[in-house]
Amino acid sequence: MNNGLAEKTKELFAKEFGAQPVAVAFAPGRANLIGEHVDYNDGLVLPMPIDAGTAVAWARSDDGRMHVHAADFGESDSFEPDAPTKPSEVSWRSYVRGMAAKWEGELPALKLLIMGDLPRGSGLSSSASLCIALGRAFAAATGTDIDPTSLARHAQRTEHEYAGVACGIMDQMAIAAGKPGHAMLLDCRDLSCEHFTIPDDWSVLIVDSGVTRGLVDGEYNARRQECEAAARALGVDSLRDVRMEDLEDASLPEPEARRAAHVVGEIARVREAAKALQTGDLARFGELLQDGHASLRDLFEVSHPVVDELVERLQSKVGSNGGARMTGAGFGGSVVVVLPESRAAEIAGAGNGKVLRVI
């Protein structure tokens, strides 16, 4: 968390509640380098935390109620901490109440001020960032020592039950367990992970496409259902257990065949990307990003024309030593670019839209 965000959050807390907070909890957003739409298929992913994220300032409340102010929206909420009801419409309140409702142990009445510096709808997992930041605030307020995996599962349940998004656990784990400056190779089946330092001569940029990402009309959940249907047809628990040869022999119906081909291919690309990262092979890493974007666009159909055009423009500037692709669930959002450190300033300043430099 940058000091500016912390100080601003404290300042707004004092303005809203008339007193200083006890502390400020923070959780970053995440950029997924490669491994999209495979976490809910028990696959492998390669995300990393970023500098921007969500801050939650907190203090005890003396009236027995939870009082929450979302500074970015200029909106407030109030509820009893032991009986938060599910909002009728999904909003930031859904995540706050869901995290409170699912908290293990007694949660005291608190005053909370939420503020973030993640671009909204940018595909950088602002919802998981909010949930993990809330969980860290609740843990600090209750003196609870909660491990990153348990916190991630808690946040995932909130997404499922309070926001209605049948997400995997990549975002929550990347945010709860990730290390700054490192990519995390996460096995979404058993949640084991390895952390790899980004080479000093590599740079990672996030470029906002300007198209607000939305999980359009349940399309995210529909993709998950199509993957599950493909797994059932193949007689396996998940597509993690499928080889490309199995798909060629199975003659799955569409769109299940294309969805499964993306997942199986993407898991293989993550394995290759981890090797390229370890050996510092930026050219190979870039090829894998390009192949991953084409698969998300053509097989999984979750990209967007504006995002595709941005990826093509960035790739033409980067050339063969690096790569660009959409990052996140799709339907808009951001593009991740991995390129030589020596060219980062040039590409970032080339008028490609809002750029967030990760490392």
**For residue 83, what pLDDT band results from cuts at 50, 70 and 90?**
confident
Clarify whether residues 159 and 228 are in a common domain.
no
CB 49 within 8 A of CB 30: yes
In degrees to the nearest 10, what's the CA dihedral of 99, 102, 105, 108?
40
Q: From CA 137, how far away is CA 110, in angstroms rounded?
A: 10
CB 265 within 8 A of CB 258: no
Q: The domain spanning residue 110 has which CATH number?
A: 3.30.230.10
CB 137 within 8 A of CB 112: yes
Q: From CA 194, how far away is CA 229, in angstroms rounded?
A: 31
Clarify whether residues 187 and 236 are in a common domain.
no
Clarify whether residues 65 and 159 are in a common domain.
yes
Q: From CA 304, how far away is CA 326, in angstroms rounded?
A: 9
Clarify whether residues 339 and 267 are in a common domain.
yes
CB 48 within 8 A of CB 197: no
Q: What is the mean pLDDT of residues 26-55?
A: 96
CB 115 within 8 A of CB 137: no
Window from 4-18, 48-62, 109-123 with minimum mean pLDDT: 109-123
Structure token digits, residue 338? 């991995």
Q: 209 lies in which domain range? A: 198-357
What confidence tens digit (pLDDT) does each residue in 62-81 have?
999 999 999 999 999 999 99
Where in the sequence numbering do the catalytic residues fall? 171
Clarify whether residues 332 and 300 are in a common domain.
yes
Clarify whether residues 350 and 207 are in a common domain.
yes
Clarify whether residues 165 and 304 are in a common domain.
no
Clarify whether residues 191 and 210 are in a common domain.
no
Clarify whether residues 171 and 316 are in a common domain.
no
What confidence tens digit (pLDDT) does each residue in 180-201 have?
999 999 999 999 999 999 999 9
Q: Is 180 helix (H, G, I), strand (E, B) or coil?
A: coil
Q: From CA 337, how far away is CA 272, in angstroms rounded?
A: 17
Q: What is the mean pLDDT of residues 211-232?
A: 84
pTM of the model: 0.92
Q: From CA 152, how far away is CA 49, in angstroms rounded?
A: 14
Following DSSP, what letter does each residue of 173-218 receive, concatenated? Answer: HHHHH--TTEEEEEETTT--EEEEEPPTTEEEEEEE-SS----GGG
Structure token digits, residue 39? 């976490």
φ/ψ bin of 57: left (φ > 0), alpha (ψ from -120 to 50), beta (otherwise): beta
Name the domain boundary from 168, 195, 222.
Answer: 195
- Tell me what the pLDDT averaged over the chain comes to: 94
